[in-house]
Structure formats: C-alpha cells, structure tokens
Amino acid sequence: MRPLNTPQFAAFAMSIASAALIVGCSCLPGSSSQHAHAASTPVRSEALILQESDGERRLHRPPPGALSNLTALFTLKVDRRNGGAPEFVMLTEDIPAGQAISPHRHPHSDEILFIYGGTGLASLAGRQASVVAGATIYMPRNTVVGLRNTGTEPLRIVAIFSHPGYEEYLREISVPEGQIPTPLTIEELTAIRAHHLDSAVYEQP
C-alpha cells in the first residue's frame, strides 16, 4: 500500500477523529440526565476490595416531612463513579430508628435489599412483612417497595440495583459526609424527583 502524503494523512486523521466523536456522543434513547451521566463513566472498570467504611459516604439532606423523614447516612460502594461498574449499583445505608424509605418503584432496575442489622417492616407489592438481620427483599422493576425501621437500633441494609441511575438521584438529595446538610424544601424535592422519573417514581403521600 502506498504511503499517504501529508494532505492525504491530514484528511484521513480528520475523518477518524470525526467518527470517534460521533461514536463517543451516541447513547441509548433516554433522558438528558442519562446522557450526562454517561459522559462521566470511567473508560475501564477498577477491581476493588472495600472495607465497611470505604466508599463515597453521604448524608441525606433533611427532607420535608410531608414527603419523607429519612436523614440516614449512606455509602455508595460501587457504581459508575466508584469502580467504574457499567451495569449495576451497590450501596449501604443505616436507617435510624423511626425513619423510613418512602414507597417507590424503579422503572428500569431490579433491586435486592439485604438486611444485616436491626429490625423493620417492609412493604412490597401491597403486602407487609417484618424483617430482621439476614432477610433478603427482591423487587422486580416497577414493584413498589417501602421499608421502615421499627426497632431502637439502626436498620442496616445493603442495596444492589441491576441498572444505574438511582445513585444520581441520591447524590442530588444528599451531601458528602462532613458537609452541613441544608434542608430540602417540598418544591426542591418535588423538582428533583420529577427530574429522575427514569430511575425512581415515588408514591404520593
């Protein structure tokens, strides 16, 4: 094959760069938030060994009582930003006594909750059951779930999602550990939830 001269090489390089740009900007149909999240996805996944305190530790901003009462500490252990996992999300959360995860569903993601401390009351697809350490809750996508701490100790959970997205909602309603969590207004939380309907839909109180 004959070597390319300088003008030919420049044109060839420009066509390759254009093709790469088009491929890099393409994404599956979805919301603009999904597109923005894809831009921050690491190129390669990273193998991790995480201790209990490791991960992206965050604190819920105090919500308006009409929509939620959850002010728990949670840790994003594995997702697109932490380890570069492209397809699933894992987090841990300690729900204080008397607080609850409001009833909601995930349109595009299955979820598994594993309880490893405390006691609570789970609502799932219209039925309720008490849960203690060792319990597992599986929610197929679009299944309404809620979980309340009915004990005196933190209700300690591990949550695993089969599809990314919900972690970005959680980031919007929280602050990194160590920062002062300013309260959310009803208008602010309603707007954030409306922006993330592709990852979570909350029941009306």
Is the CB of residue 147 less than 8 Å from the CB of residue 132? Answer: no
Instruction: Assess whether pLDDT exceeds 90 at residue 25.
Output: no
Instruction: Return the closest-CA partner of residue 202 out of 194, 33, 123.
Output: 194
- What are the C-alpha distances in Å from 47 to residues 41, 51, 78, 138? 15, 14, 10, 26
Higher pLDDT, 171 or 23: 171
Q: 56-202 sits in which CATH class? A: mainly beta
With 0-12 / 13-18 / 19 or more C-beta atoms within 10 angstroms meaning exposed / middle / buried, residue 44 is exposed
Q: Would you place residue 204 in the very low, low, confident or very high pLDDT band (cuts 50, 70, 90)?
A: confident
Q: Does 32 score more than 70 pLDDT?
A: no
Interstrand relation of 111-117 and 155-161 (parallel, antiparallel or unpaired)? antiparallel
Give residue 84's pLDDT: 96
In angstroms, rounded to a whole number, what is the distance separating the alpha carbons of residues 69 and 57?
A: 19
**pTM of the shown model:** 0.77
Q: Percent of the chain having pLDDT more than 90?
A: 76
Q: ∠ CA(119), CA(120), CA(123), 5° rounding?
A: 155
Asked which of 43-47, 123-127, 156-160 is least confident by mean pLDDT, the reply is 43-47
Tokens of 10: 């420049």
Average pLDDT in the 88-93 region?
Answer: 97
Q: Check residue 43 and give its pLDDT.
A: 57
Question: Which ranges constitute the DSSP H helices of the chain?
Answer: 6-25, 32-39, 166-172, 186-195
CA distance 52 to 34: 29
Compute CA distances 56 → 106, 133, 170, whole Å: 22, 24, 12
Whether residue 86 contacts residue 145, with contact meaning beta carbons closer than 8 Å, is answered with no
Using DSSP, state whether 76 is helix, strand or coil: strand
